[in-house]
Amino acid sequence: MRIGIIGAMDEEIALYMEAMEQTTKTVKAGITYYAGVMEGKEVVLCKSGVGKVNAAVTTQILIDTFQVERVIFTGVAGAVHPDLNIGDIVVSTDCIQHDIDVSPLGFAPGQIPFTEQWIWSADQDLIQQAIDAGKELDAGIQVVSGRILSGDQFVASREKVQWLHEQFQAHCTEMEGASVGQVCAMNGVPFVVVRSMSDKADGSAHVNFAEFTKLASERSYAIVRNMLKATSQDAGVIVYSTKNCVDCNLVKEWLKAKGISFEVRDVMTSRAYQEEVERFGFMGVPVTVVGDKAVKGYAPSELEELVGSK
């Protein structure tokens, strides 16, 4: 499984850059994408830049060009819920663009006119993984799930914070997550947004933001790192493949039809993955692995026996 990880600023992706291995760099639409391995998982890391348009373009390229199967947006936000403190973590249940306002035509604030959907729900499994990952953080850090708002504005008014909380029942506000959620929903790709509070979005941001952005970024990074660790430990079926391999896609579709979760390892991105395939005595792909057993090629009867041994 290939996972896209997005941050909006350098501070939000710096720790991932240090942790990734076997990294290759690609530039598209002025955005630099780093494909590599982190905690045994294939990841593609990028800095979107600030704002909803940047985040939307970045997400679509992750899906189209890098074929990511999950998207995690990570970084900092301003707390809107009164119970949140600087450094606390919010995991998105859903996301709304708070700066869309066509209320003079009878639409609710945040509602996208003439469309059925304007609330973008995060993936339940990813939400739970993030919440579980937060249990490993230091005591005293709240890790909660809740609504995340996005808008192309830096909120620094107590009155605006109160309105956002009351109008949307939101936990925090930032400038990218809802656009990532919308693009993922339009493409059928699961997503989650993980935000650490860098300020209280209440007029004190000029004091808090620079000071606490580094700390907040470290905490959101810790959540995502723990998510990747847990996913690697839970992976039962691994499919070694390449990007344009027809039989590889047939294996993946067969597993999906059976409702079987699996991890994809692209052997063209990692010499270590090639060596793992060679240890089973194979030189090509696809190779589907469960424990110490493997099946070469697309062979449904052999795959049935393999996954039945899990």
CA pair distance 225, 18, nearest whole angstrom:
12
Decide if 12 is catalytic.
yes
In DSSP terms, 293 is beta-bridged to: 290
Tokens of 9: 């600023």
Tokens of 113: 């006119």
CA pair distance 31, 27, nearest whole angstrom:
5
Query: Which 3 state secondary structure label does DSSP give 33?
Result: strand
Selection from 262, 114, 85, 97 nearest residue 183 by Cα: 97
Do 111 and 169 contact (CB within 8 A), yes or no?
Answer: no
CA 118, 225, 155: angle at the middle one, nearest 5? 40
Strands 287-290 and 191-199: unpaired
In DSSP terms, 71 is beta-bridged to: 4, 191
Looking at 42, 88, 199, 276, which residue is catalytic? 199
Long-range contacts of 33-39 (CB under 8 A, 24+ apart): 33/61, 33/62, 33/65, 33/66, 35/66, 35/269, 36/269, 37/269, 37/270, 37/272, 38/225, 38/228, 39/225, 39/228, 39/229, 39/232
Decide if 266 is catalytic.
no
The runs of H, that is alpha helices, within 95-204 are 124-134, 158-168, 177-187
Which residues are part of the catalytic machinery? 12, 199
